[in-house]
Amino acid sequence: MVSLPRPIELDGLDPIPSTLAIPLIGRAEARRAFPSLGFEDAAAEAIAARLVYEGAPTMRGHRAAVHGSIVRTQIVDEAARAFLSAHPGCTVLTLGAGLCTRRARLGAAAASGSRWIDVDLPAVAALRRGVFPEAVLVTGDLAAAGFVDRVLGALPPEQPCLVIAEGVLMFLDPAGADRVFEALHARLPAGSAIVFDRTHPAVVRTRRLVAAVYPSIRVTGATYHSGIARIDDLPLRWPRFRVRAADLYSRRYTGFMRFANRLLSALLGGNTFYDVALLEVT
Ligand SMILES: C[S@@+](CC[C@H](N)C(=O)[O-])C[C@H]1O[C@@H](n2cnc3c(N)ncnc32)[C@H](O)[C@@H]1O
């Protein structure tokens, strides 16, 4: 349940935590900006209306970011609905939860005995606690040695878990991102799944250009720190992972973006510059 006692102050947040506003505002704008996507999120609208944040007008006006956030959210929602229906009573662990409203949005599908746990940095966890007083929150740095391992160690050992990492892994340094996958590989029970988005390392290397063409990122002052070139390489390092899908986002491109994606993929050795992937844990 959402509780909105007072304004939600984002202006004092550090650059990376403040990126939580990008998808939040995207979801809140969906009904007005892209009605044809058929997505609406009353909780995000209510939260976004309370934001005190200088970057908000830029994010609202950045149609590509709004559109991208909605499409990504729809993909992750579909993965979550499918997992919840196949595994009632599962755990849903959201890494870098920000002010994500998925649990409220999925309604009955999320209420079927599932257990939701959210992880984020302390400043964001404090905000999240104010908005979702009933949420189970774990506070800490995903990139820190042993942290994700400890979070997973506290979960029921037999129960399949859906791990969601939406808009977060690119903000970890390469060693930190590796530690997250290492812990997920070591700890998740068979039958678990991981849905996450990735940027290609070439995008990380051209982060100044990304900020220039992507005003939503620029206003936060955050930059990407790590990327994954090929999803199919993950099981080579972590053999319990099986790739269910590597292109859930790019397969939805239409028109010019489909063409641009093909062109860029050819330059990137057949890999997309950005995508959403789904891994199964065997
Ligand atoms: C772009 S936001 C996405 C928020 C949320 N997943 C959503 O879709 O609404 C990125 C989130 O990841 C969190 N994050 C980034 N680096 C983190 C780290 N090292 N440890 C924990 N959380 C982190 C940020 O604080 C922020 O809330």
CATH number of the structural domain 8-281? 3.40.50.150
Expressed in angstroms and rounded, the spacing between residue 266 Cα and the centre of ligand 1 is: 30
What SS3 class is residue 7?
coil
The candidate with the shortest Cα–Cα distance to 71, out of 107, 108, 23, is 23
How many other CB atoms sit within 10 Å of the CB of residue 2? 16
Question: Best mutation site among 53, 168, 217 for ligand 1, i.e. most ligand atoms within 8 A of its Cβ?
Answer: 168
Q: What is the pLDDT of residue 266?
A: 94
Q: How far apart are CA 141 and CA 147, in angstroms?
A: 7
Expressed in angstroms and rounded, the spacing between residue 145 Cα and the centre of ligand 1 is: 17
Q: What is the pLDDT of residues 17-26, one digit of tens each?
A: 999 999 999 9
Expressed in angstroms and rounded, the spacing between residue 16 Cα and the centre of ligand 1 is: 7
Question: Best mutation site among 59, 120, 180 for ligand 1, i.e. most ligand atoms within 8 A of its Cβ?
Answer: 120
10-residue mean pLDDT profile of the chain (282 residues): values are 81 97 98 97 96 97 96 98 94 98 90 91 96 95 98 91 98 98 97 97 87 89 95 97 98 94 94 97 98
Residues of the chain with pLDDT > 90, as a percent, come to: 90
Q: What is the pLDDT of residue 109?
A: 79
Expressed in angstroms and rounded, the spacing between residue 259 Cα and the centre of ligand 1 is: 30
Question: Best mutation site among 162, 166, 171 for ligand 1, i.e. most ligand atoms within 8 A of its Cβ?
Answer: 171
Query: In what helix (H) or strand (E) does residue 244 lie, and over which residues does it extend?
Result: strand 241-245
Q: What is the pLDDT of residues 154-192, one digit of tens each?
A: 998 889 999 999 999 999 999 999 999 999 999 999 999
Atom of ligand 1 nearest to the CA of 27: 9
Question: Virtual CA dihedral for 273, 246, 88, 140, nearest 10 degrees?
Answer: -40
DSSP states along 29-57:
HHHHH-GGG----HHHHHHHHTEE-TTHH
Expressed in angstroms and rounded, the spacing between residue 167 Cα and the centre of ligand 1 is: 7
Measuring from atom 13 of ligand 1, which residue has the nearest CA? 96
Q: How far apart are CA 72 and CA 251, in angstroms?
A: 12
Q: What is the pTM of this model?
A: 0.97
**Ligand 1 site: residues with CB under 6 angstroms?**
16-17, 19-20, 22-24, 96-98, 100, 120-121, 124, 141-143, 166-168, 171-172
What SS3 class is residue 173?
coil
Q: What is the pLDDT of residue 1?
A: 67
Expressed in angstroms and rounded, the spacing between residue 120 Cα and the centre of ligand 1 is: 6
- Contact (CB, 8 A) for 51 and 21: yes
The candidate with the shortest Cα–Cα distance to 242, out of 250, 231, 251, 252, is 231
- If you average pLDDT over every residue of the chain, what do you get? 95
